[in-house]
A and B are shown apart, each in its own frame.
Chain A
Amino acid sequence: MELANIEQLIKKYENAETTLQEEQVLKDYFQHNNVPGHLIEYKAYFNYFTESSAERFTKTIPLKPRKMNWKWLSIAALVVVMVSIYSINQSRGLSEKDRLEAVNAYQETQKALQLISKNLNKGEHVAVAGLQEFGKAQHKIFKTTKK
């Protein structure tokens, strides 16, 4: 295409009077030809449009994501509930080893308490004997002072 023609098309283009076909002519021209110096800005300009129309949407298009979300959410909730029930049951039921240990500890404690009470009883006897002695002495004193 002649240069004069292109220049005319550009003028039309800037007034938004070109048809789509004419615009395609311009795009093709600036993509392939060696562009003269005074039109060099248009090369980048028209190539930009060709380039950006090649951009594609690459992600998938989900049509029912909400329903899927609920499904997965309920599964997750179920898993959480099951795990918590399992762990609660686990902590409530004692194992055989724990039980033996508890019985042992109970017996040891009983023994220790028995020992303490035995010694306490011994001490009580002594204290009561002391009290009787004290009572006798008091009796004597009061008898003597009444006279």
Chain B
Amino acid sequence: MNTPGTFNDASDHYLQFKAVQKSYDQVTLVVKDFNLDVSQGEFLTLLGPSGSGKTTVLMMMAGFESVTSGDILLDKHPITRTAPYRRNIGMVFQNYALFPHMSIAENLAYPLKVRKKPKAEIESQVARFLALIELEAFGNRTPGQLSGGQRQRVALARALIFNPSLVLMDEPLGALDKKLREQMQLEILRLHKKLGFTVIYVTHDQTEALTMSDRIAVFNDGVVQQCASPDVLYEQPSNAFVADFIGENNFLPGVVEHVSDDIADIKVSTGEVIRATRVDCGDSGSDKVTVAIRPEKLFILPTDHEYDSAITVKLTDRLYVGDFLRYFFELPDGTEIVVKYLNDHAAPRIAVGDEVQLVFRARDSFAFSPM
């Protein structure tokens, strides 16, 4: 399991953050001790609630914000003090930032013109990238004549056309509607697979992060809580914040009874003792913990699924969502628990007010120290 702050996986150290800190007001740190290794060609997402410092990290990477302390290395060269225009980093902005007074082709040609490339090369590159984003016929239009999705594709191509060492994307799909957003996610992945560039992607949309990324760094309060692949993040969260932020979760408060290896016996408010995987909670008796169990990992007795713990709860509500059903239960102390069932023949038929037993496996439940 990763410890927050240090990630020594099999990285080629293409992009490195070493103990980077940032303070805007000389009083508080917005980014605290940020460490990260990114491999070449990796798609890494910075995910977190607004104000968690993820955009600040991106801006420091691009050079638009200074670094208070620490170092950023790109391909082993420190770029901490390099001016933005010398970093060779492509950037895609949320509001596209296309130049409204230039045509699409001129927009794409801009980074090449700045680099004083020969005219023939510029033309062929622009044509190639227009074809890549399937907007060949739009070269002479202005950004104002394009739809949101088309603009975003142009912004993407413009950030890629000069073969940057790194591409930064600051919530690039935030302004699009849901359907278009899903299309563009696939579009970005297609280009990423085809061209093999390295991406640092910022979003607050976890679905987007889970679908697109090789790895996700979950931010909160200026600190990386966990940096791992989407499945690890979802199935083995390293603390209560990540468990809560990624996907849906139930949290049961309890007290540690006994700890053996990585399994903790925890007494919950019903008086029952449950078994959960120990993550970062204390190991002495009477330490307070919170146990996280996903709604789809809880089952109502009787069930065919194996289990090693059970709690007794009362049904308060049942919600019909269509393809699945949501059951809302309550513990005697008021804690709410949600259980998700596929809407098939196995879905139990119980009435509001019924007392039932919910069961789960220790490997699907995680004991964290409370947030």
A and B assemble together: no
A residues sitting closer than 8 Å to B (CB atoms) are none
